[in-house]
Amino acid sequence: MPAVMIGYARTSTTDQKAGLEAQLRDLQAAGCTKVFQEQLSSVANERPQLERALEFVREGDVLVVTKLDRLARSVADLVAITGTLKGKGVELRILTMNLDTSTPNGKLMLNVLGSIAEFERELMLERQREGIAKAKAEGKYKGRAPTARSKARRVLALKAEGKTTAEIQAALNISRASVFRILKDRSMPEEAA
């Protein structure tokens, strides 16, 4: 029985309609009988259609993507996805790279690519740390501005008005933890006095 080709297409935004259409066209041309698609950033913690595709594929199937960056956002993500596929007996095919993990060359290439991507990420982080250290030494680096702490007065004012934590969180667009932290910090000195 021939392998069933399952496609996955993703663009980062809904504005990238042409990019999604191109992926769908390429996946169909590659022989995909079912395609899962979504339009959201890969940095999003959840990619529901990718999750559905990974649940849907069965032993002997091939998951097909047009490009590696459409599938994984990091080496760790790639390792997790390929581990899931391997555990289910599913192969991976990346069209632009002519990579197919059902072949020994494809498996080797995927491992090499993962290693190179990890190496590049480590170099980038090292350069970033060096740049931050240099900027700090020159007095130019201030770090990220604390967004929630800058809203402390508003949090306290809303709490004084009798607003709930959820209402404060929604009104100021800050996390629940930030609201609690601000309220806790404010109550500490009063308790000590």
Return d(Cα 163, Cα 157) in angstroms, integer: 9
Residue tagged active-site, from 12, 41, 102, 178:
12
Closest listed residue to residue 114, CA positions, set 149, 154, 74, 84: 74
Q: In 150-160, which positions are buried (b, 16+ CB within 10 angstroms) versus exposed (e)? A: ebbeebbebbe
Closest listed residue to residue 103, CA positions, set 93, 114, 112, 113: 93
**Which residues lie closer than 8 Å to 128 by C-beta, 6 or more apart?**
none
Q: Determine whether 150 is an active site residue.
A: no
Q: Active-site residue numbers?
A: 12
